Amino acid sequence: MNPTEFPQRLVQALGPDTVLTAADDIAPWLSDWRGLYRGNAQAVVRPRRTEDVAQCLALCQQEGVPVVPRGGNTGMCGGATPDQGAANVVLSLDRMNQVRSIDTIANTMVAEAGCILGNLRRAADEAGRLLPLSLAAEDSCQIGGNVSTNAGGVNVVRYGMTRELVLGIEAVLPTGEIFHGLRTLRKDNTGYDLKQLLIGAEGTLGVITAVALRLFPRTGVRSVVLAAVQSPRQALQLLQLVYEQCGPRLQAYEFFTGECLELVLAHAQGVQNPFAQRYPGYVLIELADTADETALNALLESVVGDALERELCLDAAVSASLAQLQAMWKLREEISESLRAEGPHLKHDISLPIERIPDFMESAEARLRQSHGDVRPFIFGHFGDGNLHYNLSRPAGAPREWAAEHGAAVTDVVLDEVNRYGGSISAEHGIGQLKRDHFLHSKNPLELRLMRDIKRLLDPAGILNPGKLL
Ligand code: FAD
Ligand code: 2HG
Ligand code: ZN
């Protein structure tokens, strides 16, 4: 086929407004948020309807054209970036951005895959409900991307991962067939739960076009404390106390080291250290409830009082207003952007059995000190659910290429420790192209065989997001 023939067929089938073919128009769709990857494509398709997605995939399957689904492009592993092949088609869901329904009796929302997560959270709020999936990228990422990566975020400790929020899915299979699984039922034990295969599949099994989500009572009353801690071990003891005393009101339990706070203070705008001195680590704890602000504040004061008395933290700053609450959250949420501003670094999105986090951190640090003593750790994460972002920046003064040269050896040390402590090499960001080799080594042969069989069954021509995950 000559190079313009296939794009022209897409244009004929879907209309010129839906298909971008000029190199300049395609260029912005070829790289990832971290700036790690850059690929090629012969066209970018931006459908408005599920039927258009189906038509696009059917045409691509006929000609064996690789398709890369794309959401908000905030993924950390290059999953939405095409490879170097000139034949790729990027399929963006950004124009499928309608909320189809909100049901405040069943407490469900049905939304198209291209809806921005923050917009869905606001739509739920306006209806008096909570969509609890929350992450710093929520004003850029799309719900289809969230479901495809099984995103986590800051409220997993209370509401679970995205998978636990999904009731139904509409998707297009690589064959062009539409999978009509957009049910909102809470109970449905009719055979295999096929939608689960699409959740966390990173666009390798189907293109999600709409999702049905669970909603919760709006937790309009919130209270936050930033607690300074001596160590991860102290953070763990504090977690036990907070959990025992606050139970389901515990909405977020986030950890970051003193180095992370310094980084944010150096790079982010409009941030302030609430403490007069520096501490080794910090825990941001949010309690939330549907009503009775006075009772919630009293609970927080009492937990903080107990924690200080039992020496489970070194210091604590409690939010006295919404502005203070937001300012404390900003210190946590700006870490990722500040790291990006600092330059290339190695990300390890790992999870561990929570009680083993302190031992893991001590052991990993000791090994890294021996092998790469000058590497700069920036460790933070969703401590309450066992997820650490174990990020390592190049030594001070080292060139930007440092990670390319030493990264593999450093990552081997970290992931070896993760394995020793019974953890996972990918907690919430997924595999994409970044972690494919580590992923293939981390799974046992039976798991890999089953995954490959499923891939072959749903995508016999192997056109959907090739080179990602498997
Ligand atoms: P993309 O990056 O566009 O795509 C991600 C993957 O999903 C790709 O493999 C792509 O092919 C596939 N995909 C996208 N849409 C579809 C679809 N409709 N159908 C099929 N496949 C599709 N992640 C967390 O889990 N927790 C966090 O706390 C968190 N914080 C972040 C903070 C910042 C500042 C940034 C930049 C990122 C953060 N992330 C976090 C990572 C990222 O936001 C999530 O992985 C998010 O779910 C990706 O959504 P997206 O729409 O940007 O997907
Ligand atoms: C977060 O929790 C994100 O802020 C990003 O998952 C983590 O940048 C990272 O490593
Ligand atoms: Zn995270």
Query: Same structural domain for residues 279 and 348?
Result: no
Report whether residue 219 contacts ligand 1, using a CB cutoff of 6 Å: no
Q: Relative to the CA of 336, which ligand 2 atom is closest?
A: 8
Helix segments in 173-267, DSSP class H:
195-198, 232-246, 258-267
Which of 115, 148, 260 is the pocket-test mutation for ligand 1 (most atoms within 8 Å of CB)?
A: 148
Asked if the structure places residue 9 within a domain, the reply is yes
Report whether residue 151 contacts ligand 1, using a CB cutoff of 6 Å: yes
**Using CA atoms, how far apart are residues 385 and 158, in angstroms rounded to an integer?**
9
Percent over 70 (pLDDT), the chain: 99
Asked if the structure places residue 448 within a domain, the reply is no
Report whether residue 75 contacts ligand 1, using a CB cutoff of 6 Å: yes
Query: Same structural domain for residues 238 and 328?
Result: yes
Torsion sign across C-alpha atoms 255, 436, 415, 402: negative
Q: Relative to the CA of 136, which ligand 1 atom is closest?
A: 32
**Using CA atoms, how far apart are residues 378 and 335, in angstroms rounded to an integer?**
9
Asked if the structure places residue 458 within a domain, the reply is no
Report whether residue 114 contacts ligand 1, using a CB cutoff of 6 Å: no
The residue out of 40, 60, 92 marking a domain boundary is: 92
Asked if the structure places residue 317 within a domain, the reply is yes
CA-based diameter of the chain, in Å?
Answer: 75
Query: Same structural domain for residues 69 and 103?
Result: no
Query: Six-digit token pair at 89?
Result: 């088609």
Report whether residue 348 contacts ligand 2, using a CB cutoff of 6 Å: no
Burial of 46 (0-12, 13-18, 19+ CB in 10 A): buried
Query: Same structural domain for residues 169 and 258?
Result: no
Q: What is the pLDDT of residue 400?
A: 87
Q: What is the pLDDT of residue 466?
A: 97
Query: Same structural domain for residues 196 and 117?
Result: yes
Query: Same structural domain for residues 353 and 335?
Result: no
Asked if the structure places residue 38 within a domain, the reply is yes
Query: Six-digit token pair at 5?
Result: 């023939």
Tell me how far the alpha carbon of residue 207 lies from the centroid of ligand 2, in angstroms.
Answer: 25
Residue 404 has pLDDT above 90, yes or no: no
- Contact call for residues 172 and 53 (beta carbons, < 8 A): yes
Residue 317 has pLDDT above 80, yes or no: yes
The residue out of 217, 248, 275 marking a domain boundary is: 217
Average pLDDT over the chain, rounded to whole?
A: 97
Tell me how far the alpha carbon of residue 296 lies from the centroid of ligand 1, in angstroms.
Answer: 33
Query: Same structural domain for residues 231 and 333?
Result: yes
Looking at the CA of 331, which ligand is closest? 2
**Using CA atoms, how far apart are residues 388 and 261, in angstroms rounded to an integer?**
16
**Using CA atoms, how far apart are residues 146 and 120, in angstroms rounded to an integer?**
12
- Name the residue at shortest CA distance from atom 28 of ligand 1: 153
Q: Relative to the CA of 349, which ligand 2 atom is closest?
A: 10
**Using CA atoms, how far apart are residues 8 and 15, in angstroms rounded to an integer?**
10
Query: Same structural domain for residues 211 and 157?
Result: yes
Q: pLDDT-derived band of residue 435, with 50, 70 and 90 as boundaries?
A: very high
Residue 197 has pLDDT above 80, yes or no: yes
Query: Same structural domain for residues 168 and 227?
Result: no
Q: What is the pLDDT of residue 226?
A: 98
Q: What is the pLDDT of residue 414?
A: 97
Which CATH number characterizes residue 237's domain? 3.30.70.2190
Q: Relative to the CA of 429, which ligand 2 atom is closest?
A: 6
Asked if the structure places residue 159 within a domain, the reply is yes
Count how many domains the chain has: 4
**Using CA atoms, how far apart are residues 444 and 143, in angstroms rounded to an integer?**
31
Asked if the structure places residue 441 within a domain, the reply is no
Q: What is the pLDDT of residue 71?
A: 98
pLDDT in tens, 276-286: 999 999 999 99
Q: What is the pLDDT of residue 421?
A: 98
Tokens 């309690």 found at: 287
Query: Same structural domain for residues 410 and 317?
Result: no
Tokens 């020496």 found at: 311
Which CATH number characterizes residue 37's domain? 3.30.43.10
Query: Same structural domain for residues 174 and 272?
Result: no
Q: pLDDT-derived band of residue 122, with 50, 70 and 90 as boundaries?
A: very high
Which CATH number characterizes residue 386's domain? 3.30.70.2740
The residue out of 92, 120, 153 marking a domain boundary is: 92
Residue 468 has pLDDT above 90, yes or no: yes
Report whether residue 142 contacts ligand 1, using a CB cutoff of 6 Å: yes
Those residues whose C-beta lies under 8 Å from the C-beta of residue 424, and which sit 6 or more positions away, are: 350, 351, 418, 442
Q: What is the pLDDT of residue 403?
A: 86
Q: What is the mean pLDDT of residues 319-345?
A: 95
Asked if the structure places residue 434 within a domain, the reply is no
Domain containing 152 equals 99-217
pLDDT in tens, 142-176: 999 999 999 999 999 999 999 999 999 999 999 99
Residue 353 has pLDDT above 90, yes or no: yes
Report whether residue 386 contacts ligand 1, using a CB cutoff of 6 Å: no
pLDDT in tens, 251-299: 999 999 999 999 999 999 999 999 999 999 999 999 999 999 999 999 9
Q: What is the pLDDT of residue 4?
A: 80
